[in-house]
Chain A
C-alpha cells in the first residue's frame, strides 16, 4: 500500500485533533480559529468536532489571550494559542518572556506552564514588512521557552504532538509558504522528541544546517551540488531549543565545511548561534569558516524583486557551497 501523504496544514490539524481527543484539557485560543479555521484554513473542521468551548475565538487581543492561556496552563489546562502571523508575536512578548518563560523558575518549580504557541514565519508571500518576519531567534534567546521549527508534514505532526504534551511553554513556528507542501505521514500514532536533529540527506563534502523553510532550500541546493560532484549533507535541528548540538558538530567534523541557513535575520540570529556552536565544537576539524546565510538585515520589502533577494535560495546556497568547497 502506498504511504499516505498529507499537506503540512493537514498534518498540523491532525496533530491537534488527535491530542484534543486524547486529552480534554487541550484547547485552542486565537483569532478566527473556530468557524473560519484561520486565514490559512489550518484549523478547518476542529470547531465542528470539539465545539466552541475548546476551539475558542478571541478578540484581536494577542497580549490578552496569551496571558489567559498562561493562567489557564498554570491551573490545569493545556492551551494551544494561535498567533496568525509571527509578526504579531511582538504583542505577546511580556506574556511569553516575563510570564510564561519564568513562572516555573521564579516559583521554585511549583507552577508549570504547559502551553503551545503556534505561529508562522517566512517571507516571499508579498505580505510586506509586518506579515513576513521570522522571529524565532527572539524566543530561542529566552531560558524557559522551547522553540520548534518543523520542515515537513511528518515532522510538523510528530513535533506538535510532543509540544502539546510538554510541561513547558513551547513556541511552534510554521512556515506559511509550506502549508500546501505534501509529504508522507503514517496513519499510526507517533511523536518526535524535542531536541533531536535529523539528517535530511547524507553527504561527505559539506554540511548544510537548515531550519524550517530553509530545509527545502538546502535540499534543493544539495541536488544542484551533486551535479557538480559535491556531496552535501543537510541537517535539520528541528528545534532551536533544546538544541542537538552533538549532531551538528559531528557532521561538521565529518565534512569540514558548514553553511548555516535560516530565514530569520542573520545578525544576532539563529545562524549566529548555530555557527558559534559548530565553531566551538569542531574548530580543529574545519577547513573553512562557517558560512552564515540568514535574511538580509532589512525590513522585508513589498516589491517582489526586492523581497526575493532578502532570503537565501537554492541558487545562492549552491554558489556559497561551491565557493566554500574551493570551486569558482
Chain B
C-alpha cells in the first residue's frame, strides 16, 4: 500500500487515499445492505423469481471496479448485484428491476439475473454460467479496434471453469492481445458442489497455459484486490494483453435465497469462520481505524446513511408501476 509522506504533494495524496478507501468502504456496505434488502424482499414474497446474493464477496467487485473508469466495460453473472452497484448503478432502479417494474434498468424485462446499463458500461449480467465470456472478449476487441483505451472485465464464478467457451475466448484474447481481464471469483462452490470436486489441476494453470498474465489474490482484502486490478488494468490499457485474476472469496448465503439447509455441502463452522474472521467489510474497517482514517462513529454513520438510502430505494421500487402489457412485444427487435 502507498504510505503517507510529509511533503505537500503526498499530503494531497493522503487525502485522496483516505477518500478513496472510505468510498470503497461505503461501496462494500452498499452491496451488503442492498443484499439484505433483497433477502428481505424475497422472503416476504415481494420479489418474484430467483435471488442470488453477493454478500461476502464485496471486496472483489468493489476492488476491481474502483480500478475502472465509467466507460470501461464489465460483464456480470447471475450473482451480479455487487458488480452492478460497484460499477455505478443506482439502487432504486436496480430494486425496480428486481421487482419487474418499468423504472428498472431493463424496464423490468431482465430481472435480477440480467441487469444491464450502458451508462456505466455494464454489458449485462448473464444467467448462463460462462455465458458472457465471449461478450466481454468482444467488447475488448471493439475497444482495441476502435483505438480507445477501454478495458473489459469479465466476472465469473469458478463454476464457469467447466465451460469450454472460456478456453476458446482466452485463446483468442491472447492471440489478439485484447484488453480483457477475466476475473474468476472463487467462492468455493459450484452451486452445491465444492469446486475441488469439479476442477482438475489448478485454476491459474488454465490461464497460464494460454500465456495470459495470471495472478491470484485474497478476495476478502479489498486493497489487495484493487492493487492488483489496477496493475492489470494499466497493463491492458497499454496494450499488454489479457489477464486472468483468481480472487478467493466466499459466498455467505446459499446458492440462492431458498438454499437454506446447506450442511450436506458445507459446515456451519466454515460459514462462521468466514463471517467472523474473513469478512471484507470488517477487515477494511479495522484497517481504516488502525490508520486513523476514520473513527467508529463515522463508520456507523456511513452504515446508517446507506441503510436509509437502501430503504428509500426499496420504497421507490415497491411504489413504481409495472410496465404496461403492451410492453411485452417491444424490444424484441431493435
Contacts and interface: CB of A to CB of B under 8 A. Distances in A.
Nearest to B107: A108
Nearest to B106: A108
Interface in A39-91: 53, 58-59, 61, 63-77, 79
Interface in B125-181: 126, 128, 131-143, 145-146, 152, 164-165, 168-169, 171-172, 175
B134 A109 contact: no
Interface string B308-334: 000000000000000000000011111
A71 B334 contact: no
A110 B131 contact: no
A72 B106 contact: no
A64 B145 contact: no
Contact of A103 (B105, B124, B145): B124
Given A109-B330, A144-B333, A75 B73 contact: yes
A107 interface: yes
Contacts of A74: 123, 135, 138-139
A219 to B, nearest CB: 31
B141 A107 contact: no
A63 B75 CA distance: 17
A111 B123 contact: yes
Nearest to A241: B333
Q: Which interface residue of B128, B137, B138, B146 has the most chain A CB atoms within 10 A?
A: B138
B109 interface: yes
Contacts of B133: 67
A264 B202 CA distance: 45
B117 A77 contact: no
B104 interface: yes
B124 A107 contact: yes
Contact of B164 (A63, A95, A105): A63
Given A95-B134, A111-B118, A106 B124 contact: yes
B332 A104 contact: yes
Interface residues of A, number: 41
Contacts of B169: 61, 64, 67-68
Nearest to B127: A98
Contact of A75 (B108, B138, B164): B138
B74 to A, nearest CB: 12
A61 B109 contact: no
B114 interface: yes
B332 A143 contact: yes
B125 to A, nearest CB: 9
Contacts of B136: 71
Given A69-B138, A105-B331, 10 more contacts: A53-B145, A67-B135, A68-B138, A72-B141, A77-B138, A77-B146, A98-B131, A104-B331, A110-B117, A114-B334
29 contacts: A53-B145, A61-B169, A61-B172, A63-B164, A64-B168, A65-B134, A65-B172, A68-B134, A68-B137, A70-B135, A71-B135, A71-B136, A71-B152, A72-B139, A74-B139, A77-B138, A77-B141, A99-B126, A99-B132, A105-B331, A106-B110, A106-B124, A107-B124, A108-B104, A108-B109, A108-B110, A108-B116, A109-B330, A168-B334
